[in-house]
Amino acid sequence: MTTAPSAGPVQARSSAQRPARRSARDRLLAAADELFYEEGVHTVGIDRVIEKAGVAKATLYSTFGSKDELVRAYLQGRHARRSARMMEHLAQYDNPRERLLGVFDHLAGSIADPTFHGCAFVNASAESAPGSAAEQASDEYRAWIRSLCTDLARDAGASDPAALAGQLQLLYDGANISARMDRDRSAGIRARAAAVTLLDAAIAG
């Protein structure tokens, strides 16, 4: 009489090969990231988020405390990913001038993406009250962009790096808004051309 082979090791291997289920927090953030960015932080209610994430409402509140804090976490996640992608993109340039203009090359690529729905921080701030979690998270992101442009402007030889950074941020914001409101996918490219003019003047000055 033969004995059927044990299925234990096979089952163990199959179990090990299955991807780990994402935590409730990760699923809530993934749902919020998709829904908030595509439809707006106030248009989308908590019930939509928890349904998409597959969690109970109590889980959302025990994890984030409130919808405002979920919005903050959503924007902080966007900030972390965008800054990481930006720095990875800029690392390919070895010339300070091109590295500064690379900020706009990266922006142009983001605008050309079919999933682009405008700047997440501009969108969220426009919907939110002064002092809200959305405004605070957006302020943190904008301070990072300004600091990055200031450092890059200094490296590129601008006579007044802070002033040039302020001008470049206006261009950056304008390209984002034009791309969204005018459906202008070339806005990032044209903003880069304007940045060249500003940079040349700042170096000459």
Question: How do the domains of the chain map onto residue ranges?
Answer: 22-65, 75-204
SS3 state at 95: coil
The 10s digit of each residue's pLDDT in 73-93 is 999 999 999 999 999 999 999
User: Closest Cα partner for 118 from 193, 39, 28, 29?
Assistant: 39
pLDDT category of residue 201 using cuts at 50, 70 and 90: very high
Whether the predicted pLDDT of 37 surpasses 70: yes
Under DSSP, the state recorded for 5 is: P
**What value does the mean pLDDT take over residues 136-152?**
97
- Checking phi first, is residue 157 left (phi over 0); if not, alpha (psi -120 to 50) or beta? left
Return the CATH superfamily for domain 75-204.
Tetracycline Repressor, domain 2 (1.10.357.10)
Token representation of residue 40: 């707006």
The mean predicted confidence, pLDDT, of the chain is 91
Whether the predicted pLDDT of 17 surpasses 90: no
pLDDT confidence of residue 19: 55
Record: fold of 22-65: Arc Repressor Mutant, subunit A (1.10.10)
User: 20-34: b or e for each residue (b if 16 or more CB lie within 10 Å)?
Assistant: eeeebeebbbbbbbe
